[in-house]
Chains A and B, each alone.
Chain A
Amino acid sequence: MIAESVLVLFGIGLGSALLLALASRLLYVYEDPRVARVEQCLAGANCGACGYPGCPGAAQAVVAGKAGANVCVVGGPASAKAVAEIMGLTVEEREPERAWVDCTGGRRAEAVYRYEGVADCRAQHLFHNGAKMCPEGCLGLGSCVAACQFDAIRMGPDNYPVVDPERCVACGGCAQACPRGVISILSMSARLTHLNETSDCLAPCRQKCPGQIDIPRYIQQLRRGDVAGAVLTIKERNPLLLVCGRVCPRPCETACRRNHVDSPVAINMLKRYAADWEMNSGARLHIPCAPDTKRRVAVVGGGPAGLSCAYFLRRLGHSPTIFESMPLLGGQLRYGIPEYRLPKAVLDWEIEGILELGVEVRTGLRFGRDIGLESLRAEGFEAVFLGIGAWLSSAMRVEGEDSEGVMAGTEFLTRVGLGADTGLGKKVVVVGGGNTAIDAARTSVRLGAEATIMYRRSRQEMPANDEEVLGAEQEGVKFMFLAAPTRVLTGPSGRAEALEYVQMKLGEPDASGRRRPEPVPGSETTIQADTIIAAIGQKPELACLYLPDQTCPLEETKWRTLAADPDTLQTSLPDVFTAGDMFTGPNLVIGAVGGGRRAARSIHQFLTQGAVTRPDKLQRDMIPYTLFSNVQDVRPRQRAETPHLCHGRERTCTFAEIEGPLNADQALAESCRCLHCGLTCYDRDPEPGAA
């Protein structure tokens, strides 16, 4: 009986074994032995960050040729090299990515209610979209910390997650766990090309800045003493921080929540402090650039828009070439802004830093004469950026305008900038109320003339910055308000001798909200003037776009600017992009810088993806619920005052720089005034002197 049962079991076993042996022959499926070897080289974390189902899936994809050698984000370059050796591939250089936390609110954000028993952000999010007033911010329950397999996220002291960049492998687990989209996995290129979206943590200043600089972040870095970090934060949005730190009219400060308590944070002085710190430190900070793509882009115009566009294209890995008609780069920064506001040495240092990244420059080439769209395309440029600015001065449209002694504001400032003879007389009348008019008047004073500004509206309506108007008054510039020129009176030599003008009165408000000036009949008067400078507006010179047979391949607007999509800045030709004054008409430097970056983003997408995309939640206007009518629990604190470098005769007779930088103590004190706002939250009652 024992023998029988043993035999039967042995028989069943043998039968099964034979059957399986036969089956393994008949049903054999070939599996590449390299799959197992490749899998050995991967990290084995099965994190899924590569997009394949675990490491075995990734290994199969590599062998099947669907994935590159650098498929494993956790293993990094070592893994990529090992895989490449097995597969006989070369490793493609890939830009590293890191988790990026956008929220700054955390504990400060006001709670709607507290639902006891929910210990997970995702569950919390199901109840009224979370328990915080801020619809976008962190819920602070740490689902991302639990999701991270690499121990790279912890909850910071303010109860929002802090990423350890050394440990983060960009697997994306945290971003998937977060129901609010607070965490995203971004490469540097993605950060550089990101446009403000309404779901970002946008403090009012960040919404207002045309350059979309992350202002709270860099002020926070200054507060911690990390000036280099602050410079790099600014440079992710603005390569011209020395320039903007000096000349920016600071739209951001008008949006500052401190306006409801005392006066806005001196944001621009802090930017200048950081920028000057880098210049005076003696060494440039290293600016990382994405791996080279060898894609060539022509940037026409070396002004702020062109410099910004070239800078961002270079950082995105492309090879831009700037074409400039003037002998030196800088555009209106060099030839429009006088030395006493922006010293040329400072501008040169800043431009040099941009060019050192690997931007090629060809000067003395004028678009429409020496180069054109066709010649650029023929030379192998895959996209063209047009940023030639707005250099054409508007005419006063009065009799005698063409006489000797009458010139345009930009022309005058350009000649001063070039060091050429200006033919300036002793009594100068500047017509206009913008910054160009003020610059022209203050420059005339420094050249030894007596300057008067004639403006057809009153002081409140002047578009020039308040500080500039004040500075001009202090330097002895006279102002004539409610006066408009009617005729230039010339002497026997044909040279201007006087200007006839008419008194104006303010009538009904027009479309721009300003009251429309109307002439008072019979009030004509004359004023002695041997030089008349017309600074009443500029527009782009679009004639260069016209081909010899009088056609223009690009569309223009009724304001005589280049037409383009306002979000993507793509013109009617898909490979031509624009930004700056050429697109917007005369505008701020920071507007041109921001436009240059947006154009660089579009060009980057055009080159790499073939089409330009537009984010759905693009922030265009201020987000209404972030605008407060008052802020509570904030003590008033004295705003830093602009230090002046020179006074008296030195100021009015030389072109020495007037405004100076803050010192370290002032900068620290000013950075502590920042409320570090999020969309709805802000620091209540910061500790005095807290660092």
Chain B
Amino acid sequence: MEYFLLIIAAIFVNNIVLAQYLGNCPFLGCSRATGTAVGMGGAVIFVVTLATAITWLVQKRLLEPMGLEYLQTIAFILVIAALVQFVEMFLKKVLPPLYRALGIFLPLITTNCAVLGIAIICQRKEYGLLKSVVFAAASAAGFMLALVLMAAIRERLDTARVPRALRGMPIGLILAGLMSLAFFAFSGMIA
């Protein structure tokens, strides 16, 4: 039950994009078509889960024993960047089909604040390794949900009459704001 609530909270109540405003760049950049959104979402789930597990180990096994917790941010950035590069090469060699599906999105995630954000949140809330991984996967799923919803709306937006000044990014931001308001309905559901 604890994990169930954790997952629900991560996906809906504390949605990484719409409640915590992290990862807005890919949220607006990769939401023009649902196909792209699904690819990007998949890549994010993959990387976030892996990165959270690795950074958890770095924090607990390296930084904390040495009393270097203040290096958390910069160390995590370094580790995540190296990890994404490694994953890209690994997929290209070992799982070419998965590489073709996620490949072009992987470099976009290297310096994504959502990835770093999730890793750091896990540390702040002092989750264990398993709980961190579950939380990370659920948060990334929440990101994917927001991304796919946004893409679906924007596909319809293409055929709507939008005032010239608001076309493109401006209407996207308004839309993101409205979606965010809608997701606030979940707040308070889980303490």
Interface residues of A (CB under 8 A from B): 4-5, 8-9, 12-13, 16-17, 19-20, 23-24, 26-29, 117-120, 122-123
* A186 to B: closest C-beta gap in Å: 28
Q: Which 10 A-B pairs have the closest CB atoms?
A: A16-B82, A123-B159, A27-B93, A120-B159, A27-B89, A119-B161, A23-B89, A29-B92, A117-B161, A12-B78
Minimum CB distance partner of B158 in chain A: A120
In contact, B159 and A119 (Cβ under 8 angstroms) = yes
Q: Indicate with 1 or 0, residue by residue over B156-170, a CB within 8 angstroms of chain A CB atoms.
A: 001111000000000
**Are the CB atoms of A118 and B90 closer together than 8 Å?**
no
Q: Which residues of A contact B90 (CB under 8 A)?
A: 23, 27
- Check if A9 sits within 8 Å of B75, measured CB to CB: yes
Q: A23 contacts B86, CB within 8 Å?
A: yes
Checking A5, A8, A27, A117 against B92 with a beta-carbon cut-off of 8 angstroms, the contacting residue is A27
Given A27-B90, A27-B93, A122-B159, check contact A19 B82 (CB 8 Å).
yes
Distance, CA A27 to CA B91, complexed state (A)? 9
Query: With a CB–CB cut-off of 8 A, which chain B residues contact A117?
Result: 160-161
Task: Offer 15 A-B interface pairs, CB within 8 angstroms, sorted by A.
Answer: A5-B68, A5-B71, A8-B71, A9-B71, A9-B74, A9-B78, A12-B58, A17-B82, A20-B85, A20-B86, A27-B94, A28-B93, A29-B92, A117-B161, A120-B159
B174 within 8 A of A: no
List chain B residues, Cβ under 8 A from A118: 159, 161
Asked if residues A13 and B78 are in contact (CB atoms below 8 Å), the reply is: yes
Rounded to whole Å, the gap between the CB of B73 and the closest CB of chain A is 11
B71 to chain A, nearest CB (A): 6
Closest beta carbon of chain A to B155's beta carbon, Å:
11
Does B190 make an interface contact (CB < 8 A)? no
Contacts of B92 in A (CB 8 A): 27, 29
Q: For residue A146, which residue of chain B has the nearest CB?
A: B158
Determine the distance from Cα of A123 to Cα of B157 in the docked complex, in whole angstroms. 11
Instruction: Judge whether A4 and B93 touch: CB under 8 Å.
Output: no
Residue in chain B with minimal CB distance to A22: B86
Residue B62 interfacial (CB < 8 Å): yes
**Cα–Cα distance between A630 and B90 once the two chains are bound (Å):** 73
User: Which residues in A have their C-beta under 8 angstroms from that of B58?
Assistant: 12
Known: A23-B89, A27-B92. A4 touches B82 (CB 8 A): no
Q: Mark B62-95, 1 if CB is under 8 A from A, else 0.
A: 1100101011001100110110011001101110
CB-CB under 8 A from A119, the residues of chain B are 159-161
Q: Which of A4, A27, A123 contacts B68 (CB 8 A)?
A: A4
Q: Which residues of A contact B160 (CB under 8 A)?
A: 117, 119
Chain A residues, Cβ within 8 Å of B71: 5, 8-9
Chain B residues whose CB sits within 8 angstroms of the CB of A16 once the complex forms: 78-79, 81-82
Please report the C-alpha to C-alpha distance between residue A23 and residue B161 in the assembled complex, in whole angstroms: 51
Q: A4-B68, A16-B78 are in contact. List 4 more A-B contacts (CB 8 A).
A: A8-B63, A8-B66, A16-B79, A27-B93
The contact string, 1 if C-beta is below 8 Å from chain A, for chain B 132-173, is 000000000000000000000000001111000000000000
Is chain B's interface secondary structure helix, strand, loop, or mixed overall? helix
Distance in angstroms from A86 CB to nearest chain B CB is 24
Tell me how far the C-beta of B166 lies from the nearest C-beta in chain A, rounded to whole angstroms.
14
**CB <8 Å contact, B62 and A8:** yes
Whole-angstrom distance between the alpha carbons of A13 and B78 in the complex? 7
**Separation of A26 and B71 alpha carbons in the complex (Å):** 31
The answer for the CA separation of A28 and B93 in the assembled complex, in Å, is 7
Bound Cα distance from A118 to B156, whole angstroms: 11
Q: A12-B75, A19-B82 are in contact. Are A24 and B68 (CB under 8 A)?
A: no
A8-B79 Cα distance, complex, nearest whole Å: 12
> Which residues in B have their C-beta under 8 angstroms from that of A20?
82, 85-86, 89
CB distance from A502 to the nearest CB of B (A): 76
The answer for the CA separation of A250 and B167 in the assembled complex, in Å, is: 55
Give Cα A5–Cα B82 distance, bound, in whole angstroms.
19
Q: Which of B13-63 contact A (CB under 8 A)?
A: 58, 62-63
Q: Which residues of B contact A8 (CB under 8 A)?
A: 62-63, 66, 68, 71, 75
Q: In the complex, A20 Cα to B89 Cα: how many Å?
A: 9
Which residues from chain A contact B94 at a C-beta distance below 8 Å?
27
Residues of A within 8 Å of B75, CB to CB, are 8-9, 12
Nearest-neighbour CB distance to chain A for B156, whole angstroms, equals: 9
In Å, the complex CA distance between A26 and B16 comes to 36
A19 cross-chain contacts in B, Cβ below 8 A? 82, 86
With both beta carbons as reference points, the residue of chain B lying nearest to A8 in the complex is identified as: B68
A23 and B63 alpha carbons, distance in the complex (Å) = 25
Give A27 to B66 CA distance when docked, in angstroms: 33
Give the chain B neighbours of A120 by CB distance below 8 A: 158-159
In Å, the complex CA distance between A610 and B90 comes to: 46
Q: Which residues of the partner chain B approach A13 to less than 8 Å between Cβ atoms?
A: 78
Chain A residue contacts of B66, Cβ below 8 A: 4, 8
What is the distance, in angstroms, from B162's C-beta to the closest C-beta of chain A?
9
How far, in Å, is B85 (CB) from chain A's closest CB? 6
Q: How far is the CA of A474 from the CA of B66 in the complex (A)?
A: 120
CB-based nearest A residue for B93: A27
Q: How far, in Å, is A74 (CB) from chain B's closest CB? A: 22
Q: In the docked arrangement, what's the CA distance between A328 and B80, Å? A: 85
Residues of A near B78 (CB, < 8 A) are 9, 12-13, 16
Find the B residue at minimum CB distance from A11: B62
Q: Across the interface, which residues of B come within 8 angstroms of A9, CB to CB?
A: 71, 74-75, 78
Shortest beta-carbon distance from B151 to chain A in Å: 17
Residue of B nearest to A123 (CB): B159
Which residues of chain A have C-beta atoms less than 8 A from B93's C-beta? 26-29
Residue of A nearest to B63 (CB): A8
| Chain B residue with the shortest CB-CB distance to A120 | B159
- Closest Cβ–Cβ distance, residue A57 to chain B (whole Å): 10
Question: Which residue on A lies nearest to B87, using beta carbons?
Answer: A23
Residue of B nearest to A122 (CB): B159
Complex-state Cα separation, A519 to B71, whole angstroms: 118
A139 to B59, CA, bound (A): 62
Q: Chain A: which residue is nearest B85 at the CB level? A: A20
A122 to B93, CA, bound (A): 42
Question: Which residue of chain B has the shortest Cβ distance to A24 in the bound complex?
Answer: B89
Question: Measured between C-beta atoms, what is the minimum distance from B122 to chain A in Å?
Answer: 19
Identity of the chain B residue whose Cβ is nearest the Cβ of A141 in the assembled complex: B159
Query: In the complex, what distance in Å separates the CA atom of A13 from the CA atom of B81?
Result: 10
A5 to chain B: which residues have CB within 8 Å?
68, 70-71
Contacts of A12 in B (CB 8 A): 58, 62, 75, 78-79
Q: How far is the CB of B30 from chain A (nearest CB, A)?
A: 16
**What residues of A have a CB within 8 angstroms of the CB of B62 in the complex?**
8, 12
Q: Shortest Cβ distance from A75 into chain B, in angstroms?
A: 23
Residue numbers in A under 8 Å from B85 (CB-CB): 20
